[in-house]
Amino acid sequence: MILTSAVVLAVALTVPALGQSTDWFGLASQANERSEHALKRAKNAKKKARKANRKAKKASQLSEQLQQDLAGTKIVSDQDPGTVNTASNTYVDLGGPAVNVNVPESGLIDVWAQIDVEDNNDGGGVALFEDGQLVPGQAPLCDPDVPTALLLWEGTGGGGPITIGTPSATIGAGNGCGTLGPPGPVQFERPPGTHTYELRYVDPCPCGSSQFSNRVVRVGPRL
């Protein structure tokens, strides 16, 4: 009887211990599953983060390219208020103004120019040059002695400076070509790439000299 009671007591004490051990194994298994799920989620989050980073880089590159494209359309200007003179009947370099411009793939640029010409002298003419060469497509026959000009004024002896600008419409009765007022754009088709554009000067009447001041040139690329 005593032996039987001891066995029953031993079993009673052992069963809870075994049950408690089984619960710990179950908790460990659940924890392991949760850890695997967390690892998978972390991997997925990392993949999504990489995709988002790649998209952000592409967006940044597109933004930079857009900014470069927009920067390429900015109008570049130069001006010189000083006075220069010439008695040459062919175009000469009198120190600009000049601008460096990156002509886009379209090959199109808009050009604004304005000068003050002394009317009391011979008047004067200007033309647009690209990399030291006369740009074709400028106004022909502004003056019998000047086959090509961007702007030209025939001196009338009236005294004082005359302000003329682009475009090169006919001025008065044979007084030259240009616009009396704010300058407007003139479009040229030029080779894509970086070029230097400048104004050069001519005396349309080889009987004195031409005087220029307040010289301005602006060039804007067109996409």
Same-domain check for residues 214 and 182:
yes
Please identify, among 71, 91, 114, the residue that sits at the C-terminal boundary of a domain: 71
Same-domain check for residues 210 and 170:
yes
* pLDDT tens by residue, 146-175: 889 999 998 887 778 999 999 998 776 567
Same-domain check for residues 62 and 89:
no
Domain count, the chain: 2
CATH number where 135 lies: 2.60.120
Q: Is the predicted pLDDT of residue 200 greater than 80, yes or no? A: yes
Q: Is the predicted pLDDT of residue 101 greater than 80, yes or no? A: yes
Partners of 3 in the β-ladder: none
* pLDDT tens by residue, 45-67: 888 878 877 776 766 665 565 55
pLDDT of amino acid 8: 45
Residue 98, Cβ density class (10 Å: 0-12 exposed, 13-18 middle, ≥19 buried): middle
Strands 123-130 vs 133-134: parallel, antiparallel or unpaired:
antiparallel
Same-domain check for residues 208 and 181:
yes
Closest by CA position to 222, among listed 113, 102, 77: 102
Same-domain check for residues 205 and 95:
yes
Q: How far apart are CA 218 and CA 223, in angstroms?
A: 17
Q: Using alpha carbons only, what angle is made at residue 170 by residues 204 and 118, rounded to the nearest 5 degrees? A: 45
* Paired tokens of 204: 């349309």
Same-domain check for residues 17 and 106:
no
Give me the domain span that covers residue 98.
76-222
Please identify, among 47, 71, 95, the residue that sits at the C-terminal boundary of a domain: 71
pLDDT of amino acid 121: 79
Same-domain check for residues 25 and 82:
no
Q: How far apart are CA 88 and CA 187, in angstroms?
A: 28
pLDDT of amino acid 125: 94
Same-domain check for residues 96 and 180:
yes
Same-domain check for residues 105 and 159:
yes
Same-domain check for residues 67 and 86:
no
Please identify, among 55, 71, 87, the residue that sits at the C-terminal boundary of a domain: 71
pLDDT of amino acid 42: 80
Same-domain check for residues 37 and 100:
no
Same-domain check for residues 103 and 65:
no
